[in-house]
Structures are given as structure tokens and as C-alpha cells.
Amino acid sequence: MTGIGGVFFKSEDPIKLRKWYEEILGIQADEYGKTFLWNSTEPPNVGSTVWAPFKQQTTYFEPSQKQFMINFRVDNLHELVKELQEKGEEILAPIIEESYGKFAHIVDPEGNKVELWEPVDHVMNDLVNEEVSK
């Protein structure tokens, strides 16, 4: 684990909730939430953590019935998945590969879905630079 990649939670009205967070706390989010940028002493020196409300009816957290999901940033997801399987953990689906990273999902002993994310640094850096230049 290299950090928290995001906090995702269910909301009865994500649009209204995002608006409240914008008006009250100044968090300007889009339909995918808000990406907070941070600096690190480790390369690539810039990282991000996402805050995102999801619709109450989302199926993305399944099989968990919990109201939230945590995304952990990881290095070498394929190796981590292999280690988890050796420890008897069930990987919910094959690793998903997107342009901005690889994803795998497990469920903790209390039924919380956990998302494991290996970001693609150069793509994330491009997104960060685009965000900073706005």
C-alpha cells in the first residue's frame, strides 16, 4: 500500500450533496467527485486522492451492502493479487486495466469492499498538470 487513493460513499442525492460540499466547504466536484492533489517525496512526486459521492442505488460497491468503499493506492497490483490469493483472499473479478491504472477488488471480514489501485503515473501526472493549469 502506498496511500489512500479515494473515499467513495453512497448518497441519497449525490448532486445535492456535492452542491452542499461546494457551498459550505468550497469543494468543487464534478460527476466523478473531487481529486485532491498532494506532493510526495517519492516519485512521481505528485499524487491524488479522490472524494466521491455515488448514487444510493450504485452497484459498484457490490457485493458489499455497506455505504462506503476505500480505494488504496498500491505498487505492483499483479504481485499483490497473487499474494492475497496465496493468503486465501478472494479477488472479486479479474484485474481491470484502464488508461489511468489497474484495479482489483476484495471484501474485508466485515463486508466492506476494498478497491486496490495501481495508478499509471504519467497519465495521472498529465491529469494533475491539466488540473493545475486551469
> Which residues are within 8 A (CB) of 130 and not within 5 positions of it... i.e. 6 or more apart?
none
Say what the pLDDT of residue 102 is.
96
> Which residues are within 8 A (CB) of 16 and not within 5 positions of it... i.e. 6 or more apart?
none
The pLDDT tens digits of the residues spanning 87-102 come to 999 999 999 999 989 9
List, as one string, the DSSP characters of 98-121. Answer: ETTEEEEEEE-TTS-EEEEEEE-H
The pLDDT tens digits of the residues spanning 15-66 come to 999 998 899 878 899 998 998 877 766 666 677 888 999 999 999 999 999 9
Say what the pLDDT of residue 1 is.
73
Residue 129 has pLDDT above 70, yes or no: no
Instruction: Give me the residues paired with residue 47 across strands.
Output: 38
pTM of the model: 0.79
Nearest to 71 by CA among 114, 109, 13: 114
Say what the pLDDT of residue 51 is.
92
